[in-house]
Amino acid sequence: MTNKKQRVLIIEDEKNLARFVELELQHEGYETQIAANGRQGLELALEEDWDIILLDLMLPELNGLEVVRRIRPSKDTPIIIMTARDSVMDRVSGLDQGADDYIVKPFAIEELLARIRSLFRRIEIEEDIRNNKQTMIAFKDLSIEKENRIVRRGDDIIDLTKREYELLLMLMENINVVLSREVLLEKVWEYKNEVETNVVDVYVRYLRNKIDRPHEPSYIQTVRGTGYVMRDV
């Protein structure tokens, strides 16, 4: 999270409760604004950017469930519903409409603050996962996570040297393309005429020993007189 104050929109028609929650949030360092009815709250929710919305269900002009329903098509702002209606059906309805959490009145302010922090942590983790999403390359049950440089066959992680990894990556990025030994030397080893081409054969053998399974055809096929290929047909 950045150092700027996180903004909280409080949509609540009980003035004393709204003010109490606002003061507590401000004390914790949040920037706040109160909307006293559903229609005003909906307008603020759509017109401005908020880090979180605290929303009562029983609101004048537009009820809380309708507010959530109208926010969700255009905004994914986290929403915590605050309400005295604590039936399972009410909770399910709120969550089904797109709310992220639910707290029943009367509540301790410490619980509300903990739920807000928990929601922010969850969002931060989800953002980290999205930002660190791996580029995946797959061939049958063999896969490579490029950024992590992790190779798997099925659920098993295969330990490869740097050169073995780069050779396998080159082959898997060129499925059904026959790559000559000279091309592989140039692309993987960055050599041209300085090394014997049989070094490629040696490393293909190393790879086969690690990625292939006994009594099954090798994933890396030899094209006699030319080089190697991985075929999916």
Same domain, 82 and 126: yes
- Return the structure tokens found at 10: 């409080």
Judge whether 102 and 95 are in contact, CB under 8 Å: yes
Parallel, antiparallel, or unpaired for β 79-83 and 52-56?
A: parallel
Domain boundaries, position 190: 136-229
Q: Which residue, of 131, 150, 172, is where some domain finishes? A: 131
Q: What is the dihedral of CA 28, 31, 37, 41, to 10 degrees?
A: -130
pLDDT in tens, the chain (233 residues): 446 789 999 999 999 999 999 999 999 999 999 999 999 999 999 999 999 999 998 999 999 999 999 999 999 999 999 988 766 777 777 788 889 998 998 899 999 999 999 999 888 877 776 666 668 899 999 999 888 889 999 989 999 999 999 999 999 999 999 999 999 998 898 765 556 778 999 999 999 999 999 999 999 999 998 999 999 87
Report residue 103 as tokens: 């707290």
Q: Are residues 58 and 144 in the same domain?
A: no
Q: How many domains does the chain have?
A: 2
- Tokens 């992790």 belong to residue: 150
Please state, in angstroms and rounded to a whole number, the distance separating the CA atoms of residues 67 and 42.
6
Residues with Cβ within 8 Å of 76's Cβ and at least 6 positions away in sequence, in order, are none
CATH number at residue 179: 1.10.10.10
CATH code of the domain in which 124 resides: 3.40.50.2300
22 in the same domain as 117: yes
